[in-house]
Each structure stands twice: as C-alpha cells, then as structure tokens.
Amino acid sequence: MKKKVIFVTKALWIGGIETALVNLLNNFDYENYDITLLVLKAELDMKDKVNSKCRLIIIDREQTVTFNDVYKYQRLYHLTEETDNPSILHSAMMWAVPAIKWAENRLYIRYIRDLLKNEHFDAAIIYSDVVAEAAIRAVNADKYLMFYHHGAMRHVYHDKIAYKKCNKIIAVSENQAMELRKFVPKYENKIITIHNLTDVDGIRAKAAEPTFEKFDKAKLNIVSVGRVSHEKGMDLAVKACAKLVKDGFANVCWWIVGDGPAMPEVKKTVSELNMEEYVNLVGMKENPYPYIKQADLYVQPSRFESFGLTIKEAMILDKPILSTDTLGAKEIIQNQKNCIICSCDEFDLAQNIKKIIDSSQLFNDI
C-alpha cells in the first residue's frame, strides 16, 4: 500500500525555494508514494513544472495564512503610544487584535479542513515554515516535518507551536542548522539538515536555450538572479555597479534577473544613480539559466541566504562566483577555487569586482 504524503507550501511563484520543491517532487518515487501538494496562495508560475502524478490542491480564497501579520498589528499597536491619551486605545488593541487574528485563522483553517475532507496522511511536509500554523492545525497526519528556509534568524517569526508539534525541523544547510539550534535550543534534537536538490542535467539543457537579450561580449557581463526582495540585496548590486562606474570601471553591464516586492525601490535606485546604461532589470524569467551561462561573473548580493540555490546553479554552469557572506554561501562555496566571499555591502562587492577585473590571474583562478 502506498504511503500518503502531503506537502504544504505558500505559493508556486518563481523562486529558489519553489524550484527546490519542484525538483524534490519530480524526483519522488510515485510507485510507492501517493503525493499531494497543497498550495495556500494562488500564485502558480511553476505549476506546470510539477510532476503530473502529484495531486495539486490550490486554496483559492484570499486569507492570511501565517502569523507574520502579527508584526503589522504590533506596529499599529505601538502607534497608539503617540497619542495624548493612549490608554483606551491600548486596551482596545490589546483585546481586539488577538481576537481578530484568532478568529481569522480559525475560519481559514476550517476552510482548509473542509476542502481536504479530513483526509488522513502518513506524513505532512511543511515546505514553507511561514504556513506551519495552517498546516499543523488543518492537515490530519501521523507525522509533521517542517523545512526551514530562512537565513536571518533574528528577522523572522519563530513559530514555537510548530516547533513543538513537528517531529523533525529540516534546515537546508549545516550552517543554518547550527544557527537554528542556538535560537531554539529546546528543539535542537529535532533539527536535521537536508540540502536542496538541483537538477544538474536539466539546468545544463535549459542553459543552452536562447535569450531575447543580446550580451555585449566587449563588456564585463555580471549576472545576479533572484527574487527582488530586501533579503536578496539587488539594491546592493545597483549601488555596487554605480561604485564601479564612478571609479572608472565603466565597461560593465549588470543583468538582474527576477522580480518581487522590492522592484520599485530597485528601479528608483537605478534612476537616482543614473545606472540605466549599466544595469538591465530583465524581470522574472521562467528560465534564467541562459543568462547565467553567458555571464563573465555571477554575483549573489544577498543579505540573508539559507542555502543559495542560484550559487549552486552557477557552479553547475562553471561560472566564477562572487557572493556576500551568508550562511548558505559559506557552506556551498567552502573550498571551491572558483568562488569568492565578500562582506554584505556595495563597497566590498565593488572592491572585489575591481580586483577580479584588475587581475587576469585572479579572474582565471576563479
């Protein structure tokens, strides 16, 4: 009899976590496992890449699915301190916000339960820790396993209820696992490491496909791929490029492949620094690998990175790599001769790129 396993994730937009999930689903043994994927947000860019043998359930109801919004309520709550007489407002907020949040989540969880018809699973794999609450309360399973993808321990909400309920907490790098044990020592025995899967043959095949954009081979083409969000540091890439140009290294073209919530900020930075001639914001690409393949240098400017899947992909394509100092990068790049790690700021990024440009030997070495 097949084992029944359900994966629960937030969305299937184009990103490193989602790519790793799709790789995992596509390498499962469907002869011995009955696999379901429950997606709690109808953003489905990668839906067609999921193995057709995997049952896909999409929640089409717009609702909050995590405790992350608690931070929004906290900010609203603290605003009341600025009033002349905050006591009444404080009292109201102290009672109203938790009550609204509690009711909202219970309704949402009941909705998911009804959708699943109380189906029983041998294991529930929570692939995005931000949906842990909904998954644990709504999914009926013998075991719960939760992947932890954050590289910034201090900047995320740690769901202690989920940690307590889960049988295993899966870090995607050993460095990340060590840091997580420091933050939740009570559950250190539950924490294990499983690296994200990469489809080596698939990456190389996709990298051979053409791009609409033409790379000027007379320039140093730098490529950065990732979700355009604060943690990925694409704004640092733009500032580093401006620093290069200011210092006389103008024969450069920096390609930023991706999209996300910080794109307006990044576009504004490009405009303010007059970098339109040097920075190409090509947007989200279903297949980013041809860009990486054509790069003279791959740069990962992340502020936080739990694993660094795009670094691994650039390594598969034999690219020289410069990455900021993150948990994932340190583990992947360790003892690799074609990779350099620098500090997480535009100045050190630019300085290391200049060193690479100035030294043909160093460029050949990496």
User: Domain locations in the chain?
Assistant: 3-65+109-193, 68-100, 202-365
Mean pLDDT of the chain: 86
In this predicted structure, the answer to whether residue 61 has a pLDDT above a threshold of 80 is no
CATH topology assigned to domain 3-65+109-193? Rossmann fold (3.40.50)
CATH topology of domain 202-365: Rossmann fold (3.40.50)
pLDDT digits (tens, 9 = 90+) for 267-277: 999 999 999 99
According to the model, what pLDDT value does residue 42 have?
Answer: 86
Residue 79 clears pLDDT 80, i.e. is over it: no
What pLDDT does residue 156 have? 54
Burial of 297 (0-12, 13-18, 19+ CB in 10 A): buried
91-139 pLDDT tens trace: 665 566 667 666 777 788 888 888 898 899 999 999 987 888 889 989 9
User: Strands across the sheet with 279-283, in order?
Assistant: 279-283, 252-257, 220-225, 297-300, 321-324, 339-342
pLDDT at 88 over 70: no
CA 120 to chain centre: 30
Alpha carbon distance 270, 83 (integer Å): 39
DSSP assignment string, 137-200: HH-EEEEEEEEE--S-GGGS---HHHHHH-SEEEESSHHHHHHHHHH-GGGGGGEEE-PPP--H
* Whole-Å CA distances, 329 to 19, 51, 151, 316, 326: 18, 29, 10, 15, 5
Same CATH topology for 3-65+109-193 and 202-365: the answer is yes
Which of 297, 104, 290 is closest to 205 using CA atoms? 290
Distance CA 38, CA 265 (A): 32
72 pLDDT band (50/70/90 cuts)?
very low
Model confidence pLDDT, tens digit, residues 199-225: 999 999 999 999 888 899 999 999 999
Structure confidence at residue 127 (pLDDT): 94
